[in-house]
Structure 1
Amino acid sequence: MQRSFTDQLGREIAINYPPKRIISLVPSQTELLFDLGLDLEIVGITKFCIHPIDKFASRTKIGGTKKLDLDTIRNLKPDLIIGNKEENLQSDIELLMEEFPVWISDINNLEEAMLTINEIGTLVNRAPEASYLNHLIDAGFKDLQTLAKTALFGGLGAAYFIWRKPYMVAGRNTFIDDILRKIGLNNVIEEVRYPEVTLSALQLIKPDFVFLSSEPYPFAQKHIEEMQNELPNAKIILVDGEMFSWYGSHLVKAVQYFFEFQKELC
């Protein structure tokens, strides 16, 4: 049976429903598909789709999120490809759209992430499972926001680093920015997306917290020491980048992480 769906770029696609051969181009959405109860339907994933790890080895790898192996994708003959506007290259996606049904998400905040869970759930015939995941996420983040209102760190400023040489941070209009706000913090970076920043410029902003992410750049303890001399008044913390930037079902795990993380901020 053929059904039509509209993706988050406003494009209408027609697929054989329910889809039986799915390729996922984004790690967090791959995890979501497995957590929705799919298994053999997922025929191709990227080399970064490490969750759940027990499924990783048995799936064909179709390259990286920004360097897709188009020939391998063609050989898998998918009846649905699921990608993301930010994480995949437009040129690759446009080529795939000429040959296959491609559904693209566009996510900048928690609300859009939950909408995506519902839409992908419907797309792959797992709507009840998607609703349950969203119930857990919604309840968890509401509790986190309630706790943040009475916490000592509530409203303090943070800078979230994603890269080194050059230093790059998460700015406005990003999923990370929204998560910072959801757990009770203000992003001190006014620029949008992922601007470069110098430590001397950050000194003038005087963030209360500096978060060094585990991905995409693997910050480590030595980088805390490197920055502390330049930012002596900031509390510098290594953070799990997956918890701040993976949307989809990973947000269920993120709720517990942020409960513990809020305690560390106090």
Structure 2
Amino acid sequence: MTIVDQLNRTIQIKYVPKRIVSLVPSQTELLYDLGLESSIVGITKFCVHPQHFISNINVVGGTKQVHFNKIKALEPDIILCNKEENTQEMIEALEKIAPVHISDIYSIEDCLKLISMYGTLFSVESQAKELIAIIKIEQQKFQDFIIEQPKLNTVYFIWKDPWMVAANHTFINSLMTEAKFENHFQNLERYPEIDLDKDMDEQVEVIMLSTEPFPFKEEHIKILKRKFPKVKVLLVDGELFSWYGSRLAKSFEYFKTLRSEFLK
């Protein structure tokens, strides 16, 4: 079987993979929701959904550093990676162990294509089609809800010291656009550092502090509210803005709740 991943790399596989190592948390959750739990033999320490995985499945490291000897010992049929979350050096080493499938996600459409790819790759086409249908239904329901609502000029922080935001060419930015949270830094690329004193201005209406990768808390809301008293500041669930795959089905209802909160 010949498979082409999202980097247009061709992968040759003799049979449907039965032993999977997943090095991307959102993709691990996706595998579970496609009914592939029994095929997952290795995960990262950040693969926290579903919760019982951490105690039941071999943890082989993180997303940037892994124990190659542990992965090799698991005798995987395939290893699942992501261009952004895993390093090139890591992928090159993993290719010596087993075929590597790499995702590359910047939009909802990319996410749906990955689900379809997994449906074919792991012979779970019907489950993949059902999940895609659910996501599209939730997306349309949200668009019907939001159609008359205004755009909100928004800053989405992912890190502190230095302060870093999600900008253009990110999956987060695509979901912000979907939810009419207009990205104040959409003229910048990826995850730039910003200066709170120089780069923020009176156009900003909303500040989002993500729960990951930096664990923003209430104390950080207070800091920014003192600095920008006219701006609404709220903690947001980073997983629902950045985890593609099956979690996307839950994002749209969450965005509806968020918008209602910001428009009070």
Report the RMSD for the aligned CA atoms in angstroms.
1.2
Contact 1:214 1:241 survives alignment (8 Å): yes
1:188 and 2:184 correspond: yes
Give SS of 1:63's match: coil
Query: Does 108-117 or 13-22 show the bigger shift?
Result: 13-22
Structure 1 residue identity aligned to 2:5: D
**Cα-to-partner distance string for 1:128-148 (whole Å, 9 max, x where unaligned):** 111111111111112212222
Q: Which residue of 1 aligns with 2:93?
A: 95
**Cα-to-partner distance string for 1:218-246 (whole Å, 9 max, x where unaligned):** 00111011111221221001000000000
TM-score normalized by the length of structure 2: 0.96
Q: Which residue of 1 aligns with 2:203?
A: 206
Give the whole-Å Cα distance in 1 for the aligned partners of 2:177 and 2:241: 11
Q: 1:205 to 1:15 in 2, by over 3 A?
A: farther
**Identity across aligned pairs (percent)?**
43
Moved over 4 A (4+): none
Question: What is the CA distance between 1:205 and its match in structure 2?
Answer: 5.6
Contact 2:47 2:53 survives alignment (8 Å): no
Q: Which residue of 1 aligns with 2:156?
A: 160
Contact 1:199 1:231 survives alignment (8 Å): no
TM-score normalized by the length of structure 1: 0.95
Query: Does 250-259 or 216-225 show the bigger shift?
Result: 250-259
Give SS of 2:98's match: coil
Give the whole-Å Cα distance in 2 for the aligned partners of 1:209 and 1:146: 22
User: Which of 11, 15, 18 is 2:16 aligned to?
Assistant: 18
Give the whole-Å Cα distance in 2 for the aligned partners of 1:203 and 1:20: 50
Query: Does 223-232 or 142-151 show the bigger shift?
Result: 142-151
Give the whole-Å Cα distance in 2 for the aligned partners of 1:77 and 1:219: 39
Structure 2 unmatched runs, 5+: none
Query: Does 224-233 or 23-32 show the bigger shift?
Result: 224-233
**Cα-to-partner distance string for 1:40-92 (whole Å, 9 max, x where unaligned):** 21000000001011232110001000111111111111011111000001100
Q: 1:167 to 1:100 in 2, by over 3 A?
A: same
Contact 2:142 2:253 survives alignment (8 Å): no
Query: Does 205-214 or 253-262 show the bigger shift?
Result: 253-262
Give SS of 2:13's match: strand
Give the whole-Å Cα distance in 2 for the aligned partners of 1:107 and 1:167: 24
Give SS of 1:43's match: strand
Structure 1 residue identity aligned to 2:24: V
Contact 1:80 1:100 survives alignment (8 Å): yes
Structure 2 residue identity aligned to 1:16: K
Q: Which residue of 2 aligns with 1:220?
A: 217
Contact 2:21 2:40 survives alignment (8 Å): yes
Q: Which residue of 2 aligns with 1:39?
A: 37
Q: 1:16 to 1:39 in 2, by over 3 A?
A: farther
Give SS of 1:158's match: strand
1:197 and 2:181 correspond: no
Give SS of 2:52's match: helix
Give the whole-Å Cα distance in 2 for the aligned partners of 1:107 and 1:89: 15
